[in-house]
Amino acid sequence: MKEVEITEIIIREYLGSLLRALDSDVIIAGGGPSSLVAGYYLAKAGKKVTILERKLSLGGGTWGGGMGFKYVILEENCLPILQELNINYTKKGEDLYAVDSIALASGLIFNAVKAGAEIFNLVSVEDLVVKDNRVKGVVVNASPIEIARLHVDPITMKANAVVDATGHDLEVVKVLLKKNNLKIFTETGDIVGERSMDVEEGERITLEKTGEVFPGLYVAGMAACACFGGPRMGPIFGGMLLSGKKLAEILVEKV
Ligand code: 48F
């Protein structure tokens, strides 16, 4: 029966993808812009990279531009990334370029998938595997189970490096600190927390702090900014793209 044949293909394909993802070079929690850029460059370098996104759609905060006006702004230092990914932009001011946020989100997703990143939507990272003072993997559940607060145990996936790219909420680092008595690589040993808006400083700190925050655990994008006490930067996305690229450069060497 054709209906069952269709169902069987879906189940077999999905299980194949899931089984392959159980042992990755890099697992990235969150599928926003920093994650997708990192996923693209890691996959392009031949690394086995898995992106786990809670929502149905990838792209995180890209789609809505500023206050729902669908444009985001980038600076000149991002143009090589946009050119490589074939995403259009228009010069609008001194070192300010406008990009249609729908073109940016879809372009980042398309390029990450095409390069070979394995992306799962509707999967939430709810905890970590921590052994010998090192993060060794993630604990995941289906988002509908998480959202319905059903009492269903999660499953696990292992990776040489896990990345918190969950944005402002910094969910993975938070759970690491909540469940384990340990310190991370910030000045305080704890999450410093995001500050009020300052575009230049926010982008600078995001890029500078992208990297390892605990053995085996890395931060990128707004998660890096919030972890180390940087200010938010709103609908300017250069810091996100450059953070993703920097993370990939670090991890290509390490994993
Ligand atoms: O927030 P988000 O877009 O991450 P980002 O790469 O980019 C930030 C910008 O969008 C914007 C900004 C730029 O100046 O300030 O906010 O840092 O995307 C984070 C993604 O992570 C998903 C969430 O649904 C979103 O798509 N996410 C959050 N927590 C989890 C998660 C989780 N526990 N498991 C899986 N996905």
Classify 142 in phi/psi space as left (phi over 0), alpha (psi -120 to 50) or beta: beta
Interatomic CA distance for residues 239 and 203, integer angstroms: 5
Q: Is the CB of 61 within 6 Å of ligand 1?
A: yes
In this predicted structure, what is the pLDDT of residue 12? 98
Single-letter code of the amino acid located at 162: V
Helices 33-44 and 238-254: crossing angle in degrees, nearest 10, is 40
Q: Is the CB of 221 within 6 Å of ligand 1?
A: yes
- Ligand 1 center to 3 CA (angstroms): 36
Average pLDDT, whole number, for the chain?
98
In this predicted structure, what is the pLDDT of residue 7? 98
Ligand 1 nearest atom to the CA of residue 52, by list position: 35
In this predicted structure, what is the pLDDT of residue 5? 98
Single-letter code of the amino acid located at 106: S
Single-letter code of the amino acid located at 252: V
Q: Is the CB of 244 within 6 Å of ligand 1?
A: no
pLDDT, average across residues 221-244: 97
Interatomic CA distance for residues 232 and 20, integer angstroms: 36
| Ligand 1 pocket, mutate which of 53, 101, 127, 237 (most atoms under 8 A from CB) | 53
pLDDT, average across residues 76-98: 97
How would residue 240 be classed by pLDDT, with cut points 50, 70 and 90?
Answer: very high
- Reported as a single tens digit per residue, the pLDDT across 17-33 is 999 999 999 999 999 99
Query: What SS3 state is found at 158?
Result: strand
**Cα–Cα nearest to 54, from 167, 210, 177:** 167
Cβ neighbours for 120, distance < 8 A, ≥ 6 positions apart: 17, 18, 21, 50, 51, 52, 53
Contact present, 126 and 140 (Cβ < 8 Å): yes
Q: Is the CB of 227 within 6 Å of ligand 1?
A: no
Q: Is the CB of 203 within 6 Å of ligand 1?
A: no
pLDDT, average across residues 217-230: 98
CATH architecture of 23-254: 3-Layer(bba) Sandwich (3.50)
In this predicted structure, what is the pLDDT of residue 52? 99
Contact present, 245 and 111 (Cβ < 8 Å): no
pTM: 0.98
Interatomic CA distance for residues 235 and 71, integer angstroms: 8
Q: Is the CB of 53 within 6 Å of ligand 1?
A: yes
Classify 157 in phi/psi space as left (phi over 0), alpha (psi -120 to 50) or beta: beta
- Reported as a single tens digit per residue, the pLDDT across 25-69 is 999 999 999 999 999 999 999 999 999 999 999 999 999 999 999
In this predicted structure, what is the pLDDT of residue 213? 98
In this predicted structure, what is the pLDDT of residue 196? 98
Cβ neighbours for 138, distance < 8 A, ≥ 6 positions apart: 27, 29, 52, 125, 127, 128, 129, 156, 157, 159, 162, 172
Ligand 1 nearest atom to the CA of residue 220, by list position: 17
- Ligand 1 center to 166 CA (angstroms): 4
Ligand 1 nearest atom to the CA of residue 35, by list position: 6
Interatomic CA distance for residues 243 and 26, integer angstroms: 16
- At 91, phi and psi to the nearest 5? -70, 130
pLDDT, average across residues 199-203: 96
- Ligand 1 center to 55 CA (angstroms): 10
pLDDT, average across residues 154-180: 98
In this predicted structure, what is the pLDDT of residue 132? 97
Contact present, 17 and 51 (Cβ < 8 Å): no
In this predicted structure, what is the pLDDT of residue 199? 96
